[in-house]
Amino acid sequence: MLGFVLRSRPASCFISLSAFFGLFVFWAGATSSCSKPPNPQIGDWIGERDFIFISVDTLRADHLPFYGYRRQTAGDLEEPFSLAWLASRSQLFEQCWAPVGKTLPSLASFWTGLFPLEHGAIANTTPMQKSSLAQKFQDMGYHNLALLANRTLEEGMGLEQGFHSYGIAAKEKESFLGEHLLKAAKPIIADGEPLMLWAHWMSPHQPYSPPEPQALAFTAQAEPAADNDLLYSFHRNPSLLTFQDKKHCIGLYDAEILTAAQRIQVFLAGLDQSYRLASRGGLLENAVVVFFSDHGEELGDRHGYFLHAKSLYSSVLRVPLLIATSGLEPSRNPDPVALQRVLPWLVHGDSLQQKSFPGSWQTEYYSWRKDNWTLIHNPSGNPDGPLEPPVDAKYPYPKVALFDRTSDPNELIDVSKQHPEVVREMMAELHAWFGDLKILEAIFLPGTDPQARREELAALGYLDEVPDTLIPPWKPENWNP
Ligand SMILES: [Zn+2]
């Protein structure tokens, strides 16, 4: 027993007879037009090709070699379907910004196209209350499969919407994730049925305890494993974190990335083989492969903090984004994009262009990115930081800080005093954006005991609280340098 099952939905939620005939016409047309170069600007691919969404939890963009990292965490460039190989065949987005450093809130944003405060999943205990764009795939006749190695994404939290099969695995079981999903996808591919598939890998989420032989890829010894106790201890007492400790933990984190990359390579190669066995050509001729992460990770960057949920800095909010399909010219796209706008772009052909990129932890802490600038804002002045594990360690946010990412990509040097006009302008934008948000009240899953759910999540290393009050950002006139 491998510990997880793909739960199938009743056939009635698939397609009606008339929809089926409509689908037949649409799909027959689709296959004959496969040679047509897809235009990524107008969402032409939906209906034309299968969609394979691959996400990796807690994967920081700048720890991948195709985002400039010095270590080969993404496999061998020459090996088909390694992440490095995929990146070389992709449109790579150099700056993709997640809205928050938490799994359910960020992934719910990906699937709804909305900011966390707008879809209700502001914590891992509060379900998403808006429709998933996965439904659109189902409406168009796709067979939608998801298998996710993160237990906070359990059925009922909203992400299961639109999927015919939706399964959850524990991180310890994720080595079987690809195998299970391939088994479910193979008959769909063999039948030529439109397929939308989402696989979510949990490595490199803490604990950083990569399996052998990857464990020794970037560090001399695998022990001690970087578990919650060790990582929390550095945050509780940052002076304990030595250069050697940091190097060790980062080596294990990188080995976790390599582990995920190798599993994904096997999975994508398996999908490719399934298409070939069905005499349909290869994976990229048939499918759009979208690779991304829900958020990154701090690696002792500030306050001795490893993990992600407390942070709105670039180590956590900058995520990788690759899109690959045959006919799409590989390129590096320098334009910044918001993670939650990717699916509306692919599904509806909405514009990806956006000038400013908000991030927030509930309504208590904010980040705002525009051009080379990052504004950080803590309107309540709370000195403790977000209520996330370990809650007894502080992660103070400045009331206002400004960082120039051109010279300071890790956002460590506050230049707000030197650029008050930039702060004023960004604060005005943040305030206006907040004013336009249609904020949903977060609710707990009906029928669940919030306290029991909190305890369950705390055991997994999560903690969630939902605020009683909203703390809006300051009006720009309240900013006095
Ligand atoms: Zn996550």
Start-to-end C-alpha separation, the chain: 61
- Domain 40-356 sits in CATH 1.10.10.60: no
How far apart are the CA of 57 and the centre of ligand 1, in A? 4
Per-residue tens of pLDDT for the chain, all 481 residues: 233 333 443 333 322 223 322 333 333 333 333 334 444 544 678 889 999 999 999 999 999 999 999 999 999 999 999 999 999 999 999 999 999 999 999 999 999 999 999 999 998 889 999 999 999 999 999 999 999 999 889 999 999 999 999 999 887 888 899 999 999 999 999 999 999 999 999 999 999 999 988 999 999 898 998 999 999 999 999 999 999 999 999 999 999 999 999 999 999 999 999 999 999 999 999 999 999 999 999 999 999 999 999 999 999 999 999 999 999 999 999 999 999 999 999 999 899 999 999 999 999 999 999 999 999 999 999 999 998 999 899 999 999 999 999 999 999 999 999 999 999 999 999 999 999 999 998 887 766 666 776 677 666 655 566 666 778 898 878 877 6
pLDDT at 171 (0 to 100): 79
Using alpha carbons, select from 245, 391, 401 the residue that is nearest to residue 313. Answer: 401
User: Ligand 1 mean position to 295 CA, how many Å?
Assistant: 6
CA angle 328, 329, 335 (to 5 degrees): 95
Residue 109 CA to residue 132 CA, distance in Å, equals: 9
Crossing angle for the helix pair 177-191 and 243-277, nearest 10 degrees? Answer: 20
Let me know: does 87 contact 74? Beta carbons within 8 Å.
yes
DSSP state of 269: H
Spell out the domain ranges in the chain: 40-356, 359-478
Q: Cα(199) to centroid of ligand 1, in Å?
A: 13
Q: Residue with structure tokens 């609280």?
A: 465
Enter the tokens of residue 250.
Answer: 């980062």
**Strand, coil or helix: 463:** coil
Query: What is 302-367 written as a DSSP string?
Result: STT-EESTT--SHHHHEE-EEEE-TTSPPEEE-S-EEGGGHHHHHHH------SEEEEEETTTEEE
CA–centroid distance, residue 307 to ligand 1 (Å): 10
Burial of 400 from C-beta contacts in 10 A (0-12 / 13-18 / 19+) = buried
Contact 461, 228 (CB under 8 A): yes
Say how far apart CA 451 and CA 11 lie, in whole Å: 36
Q: 359-478: what CATH class?
A: alpha beta
Measure 69 CA to ligand 1 centroid, in angstroms.
21
Confirm if 342 and 109 have CB atoms less than 8 A apart. Answer: no
**CB of 196 within 8 A of CB of 143?**
yes
**C-alpha angle 160-147-207 in degrees, rounded to nearest 5:** 110
Same topology, domains 40-356 and 359-478? Answer is: no
pTM of the model: 0.89
- Does residue 357 contact residue 321 with C-beta atoms inside 8 Å? no
| Tokens standing for residue 308 | 């992600």
The number of C-alpha atoms within 13 Å of 274 and in the hemisphere containing its C-beta is 24
Cα 16 to middle of ligand 1, angstroms: 36
Q: What distance in angstroms lies between residue 166's CA and the mean position of ligand 1's atoms?
A: 18
Helix or strand holding residue 127 (H, E): none
Q: For residue 31, how far is its CA from the centre of ligand 1 (angstroms)?
A: 36
Cα(106) to ligand 1 centroid in Å equals 8
Rounded Cα–Cα distance for residues 72 and 53 (Å):
23
**DSSP state for residue 406 in the 8-state scheme:** T
Dist. CA 24 → ligand 1 center (Å): 38
